[in-house]
Amino acid sequence: MKQSILIIIVLLLFSGKTFSQIFVHDPVITQQNDNYYLFCTGLGITIWSSPDMKNWTKEGRVFQETPQWVSETLDDFAGHMWAPDIIYNNGRYYLYYSVSAFGKNTSCIGVATNSTLNPQDADYEWIDHGIVVQSVPGRDDWNAIDPAIAFDDDGQPWMSFGSFWDGLKLVKLNDDLKSIAEPQEWHTIAKRERSFDIDETDAGDGALEAPFIFKKNGYYYLFVSFDYCCRGAESTYKIMVGRAKNINGPYFDKQGKSMLAGGGSLVLKGNENWHAIGHNAAYTFNGKDYLVCHGYDAHDNARQKLIIREIKWNENDWPVVDITK
């Protein structure tokens, strides 16, 4: 309770103020008119806005109170909503979010909608629609966190998600973007073999999470995060990628290794300036492609900060991102 009160006080103190460097976890971005809006993990999902993706103003949070269904569904919910995704479709914004008990696959992915992202707009209102996907211990060998929405060439919506356990999943959604399509269609899209059966807080060599699918150059690129986040300077997060001709895979890395067998080509990892770069999203804004992620600043007490870099593409159509600047 004391931690939640402290977080609320911090949010109130910083709301409405503009910063050139912001502390975020699991960032995603969308654009409305001349503004960019960033959503990230936090109490109620934290919101930032920017005219240029450089100077950011805190806009509060999506949920002022935890939706009732969360406490009714999860007995040990800790209060934070994790790893959002934001998309725009048919005149509305869809905000997907994770609620979970840490280290367990007692998890749910929910969705809320809004017709605008501008808090000053009279129509600004987040409407929660509850659970899209739920994982249950003993029933599921996957974890319902880290959602990301992608559309295939036929306009069919899919949700990729997952963390550790038996790999990252892809499930077909209904056109309403609020529910799983029937008959259900599920795929495993990335997996690392685990040496032994352990919980998610220590998955050994099986740690992977945060899938994000980005269509480019006739391929679906699957970005994922390998290894460990959330351990400060000791974190080992890094961003890997594979690609496929079909959204449901199979995805292969540069060497032709399947991501179902632990494959993945390195995009970014820590260096002398950053520890543990990961949990990324990819976008095209104004004709340029961008990678959005977080990393621990090696020169600022390993505090977790927003990283945005342009994506270039090599001669073989693989993404190249420069983090040296």
Classify the phi-psi angles of 200: left when phi > 0, otherwise alpha if psi is within -120 to 50, otherwise beta: alpha
CB atoms within 10 A of CB 92: 13
pLDDT, position 118: 97
Higher-confidence position of 200 and 167: 167
**Does the pLDDT value for residue 119 go beyond 60?**
yes
**Ligand-binding site membership of 103 (annotated):** yes
Enter the tokens of residue 101.
Answer: 């008990």
In this prediction, residues 100-106 reach a mean pLDDT of 77
**Does the pLDDT value for residue 38 go beyond 70?**
yes
**Ligand-binding site membership of 164 (annotated):** yes
Assign 212 a pLDDT band (cuts: 50, 70, 90).
very high
pLDDT, position 103: 67
DSSP string covering 185-218: -EEEEE----SS---TT--GGG-EEEEEEEEETT
In this prediction, residues 72-83 reach a mean pLDDT of 81
In this prediction, residues 299-324 reach a mean pLDDT of 94
**39-53, 59-73, 199-213: least confidently modelled range:** 199-213
Assign 228 a pLDDT band (cuts: 50, 70, 90).
confident
pLDDT > 70: percent of the chain: 89
Q: Is 179 exposed, middle or buried (0-12, 13-18, 19+ CB in 10 A)?
A: middle
- Between the CA of residue 218 and those of 142, 150, 165, 221, 249, what are the distances in Å? 29, 15, 30, 10, 13
Query: Phi and psi of 11, rounded to 5°?
Result: -60, -45
**12-26, 61-75, 173-187, 309-323: least confidently modelled range:** 12-26
pLDDT, position 86: 98
**143-157, 193-207, 211-225: least confidently modelled range:** 193-207
Q: Provide the pairing of β-strand 46-50 with 35-40.
A: antiparallel
**Does the pLDDT value for residue 2 go beyond 70?**
no
In this prediction, residues 88-108 reach a mean pLDDT of 90
**Ligand-binding site membership of 16 (annotated):** no
Average pLDDT, the chain: 90
pLDDT, position 205: 67
CA separation for the pair 201, 261 (Å, rounded) = 22
CATH numbers and ranges of domains, the chain: 2-286+306-321 (2.115.10.20)
**Ligand-binding site membership of 76 (annotated):** no
**Does the pLDDT value for residue 287 go beyond 70?**
yes
* Sheet with strand 148-151: strands edge to edge: 148-151, 157-161, 168-172, 186-190
CA separation for the pair 107, 49 (Å, rounded) = 29
> Catalytic residue numbers?
26, 209
pLDDT, position 14: 52
**Ligand-binding site membership of 50 (annotated):** no
**Does the pLDDT value for residue 198 go beyond 60?**
no
**117-121, 153-157, 199-203, 255-259: least confidently modelled range:** 199-203
Of 240, 239, 242, 238, the closest CA to residue 250 belongs to: 242
**Ligand-binding site membership of 143 (annotated):** yes
pLDDT, position 15: 58
**Ligand-binding site membership of 165 (annotated):** yes
Of 275, 269, 223, the closest CA to residue 244 belongs to: 223
- Please give the single-letter amino acid code of residue 295: G
**59-68, 78-87, 176-185, 246-255: least confidently modelled range:** 78-87
- Between the CA of residue 169 and those of 212, 247, 314, what are the distances in Å? 11, 12, 28
pLDDT > 90: percent of the chain: 71
